[in-house]
Amino acid sequence: MSKLTISDIAARAGVSKATVSRVLNDRAEGVGPETRAHVRAILAETGFQPSAMARGLATGHSRSVGLIIPDVINPFHPLLVSGAEQALSAVGYSLFLCNTGSNGAKQGDYIRVLVDKRVDGVILDSVGFEAEAQVRLLEREGIPVVLLDCVIGDRASRYGVVLDNDHGVREAMEFLFRRPDRRLLYIGGPSDMSQSVDRRNSVERIAREWRLAGDQLTVLPGDFGLECGFRLVTELIGKQSGRPFPFNGVFAANDMMALGVLKALRRAGVSVPGEVEVLGYDDIEFARLIDPPLSTVAQPALEMGAASAELLLRLINNDKPRRKTVVMKPRLILRGTTLAPDDVGQTHIQE
């Protein structure tokens, strides 16, 4: 049996296609209450579902949004997606999820696909130095964009939901350096992702403020991957064979690298947190499930995803907020990979 069309519904109801379209799109003009009820009865009887593309052409809205993330394997990003999807679904919007695999060129390809699909807006958790040109393409096409957990260009120039990374890093550093004998290894993230650049800049700025000696802080570049954390710490341990251990604390720019660090320390027979304390960033689900549970700087990922969707919906409806950027605060959560805090006035949550 062929799929029903608006023409079929119009013929059954004895009205024009324009009248059926007005009923489907809840337009009050040109349709009396009896006719409206009659058309709706036919629609219910037949179970007619209009084409989303056809409705989009008629209304100017596709009721769909694109969400681009860099790494669906990293458990942090699905939390952002879930928060956005719930907010969008509640008002009848569909979500196109695009996973770039941290590939800037692939991100550009997805943006062009979303333009072709006539999405009403895009939420972008970007990667790569090409992002500025890619966002400008969306802007030229008149497609609203909200940046999620990233900054492209001047933060005040575009709408976005970001984390106060400086606050999160400072809380972590103040906790870790409660010990005067601290020798800290910081493992950063990719240099083409604004959030990892922010975190590394904050670590280095605080080190300058506190005038830390060279042996008190070592900064190494990472890639946000579990194997990266494992490899870097394994190499450092190997280089120190027969000499004093090079660090007694590790602060990783995300939880996945911190999990890799824990794997390397366990394989080397290093006690955590007795010999080395480990602190991550994000608070993914695995952080609570491993033994010992991972201390971390927690991002409100679900809330960030939902806020990005709500901000985008306002832009789609031409209800532009005065504040372009929503800034959310992380919090320090202490679990089993760090020792009990000394009474030095830190604000944190102990689990």
289 occurs within a structural domain: yes
> Which pLDDT does position 347 carry in this prediction?
45
Is residue 256, in this structure, part of any structural domain at all? yes
Same domain for 311 and 281: no
Q: Which long-range contacts (CB under 8 A, 24 or more apart) does 208-216 make?
A: 210/177, 215/183, 216/182, 216/183, 216/184
Show the domain range for 98.
64-163+301-328
Question: Does residue 281 fall inside a structural domain?
Answer: yes
d(C-alpha 133, C-alpha 140), whole Å:
10
What is the count of structural domains for the chain? 3
| CATH number of the domain residue 71 falls in | 3.40.50.2300
Do the domain assignments include residue 15?
A: yes
Decide if 282 contacts 296 (C-beta within 8 A).
yes
Say what the pTM is.
0.79
Which residues of the chain fall below pLDDT 70?
1-2, 25-29, 50-61, 241-244, 342-351
Q: Which CATH number does the domain housing residue 17 bear?
A: 1.10.260.40
Contacts 24+ apart (CB under 8 A), 302-305: 302/79, 302/80, 302/82, 302/83, 303/83, 303/328, 304/80, 304/83, 304/148, 304/149, 304/161, 304/163, 304/328, 305/79, 305/80, 305/81, 305/82, 305/83, 305/84, 305/85, 305/86, 305/87, 305/148
What pLDDT shows up at residue 349? Answer: 57
Q: Do residues 197 and 155 both lie within one domain?
A: no
Predicted pLDDT of residue 1: 46
Has residue 311 been placed in a domain?
A: yes
Residue of 152, 72, 142 whose CA lies nearest to 106: 72
- CB-count exposure of residue 331 (10 Å: 0-12, 13-18, 19+): middle
Crossing angle of helices 104-116/131-140, nearest 10°?
10
pLDDT of residue 219: 96
Q: pLDDT value at position 346?
A: 46
Asked, for residue 1, whether it belongs to a domain, the answer is no
Domain check: are 77 and 225 in the same one? Answer: no
- Please indicate, yes or no, whether residues 170 and 284 belong to a single structural domain of this protein: yes
Judge if 139 and 255 occupy the same domain: no
**Do 68 and 83 have their domain in common?**
yes
pLDDT, tens digit, for every residue of 15-72?
888 888 777 766 666 788 888 888 888 888 887 776 554 555 454 567 899 999 998 9
CB atoms within 10 A of CB 227: 12
pLDDT of residue 325: 92
What pLDDT is stored for residue 57 in this prediction? 47
In a domain, 130, yes or no: yes
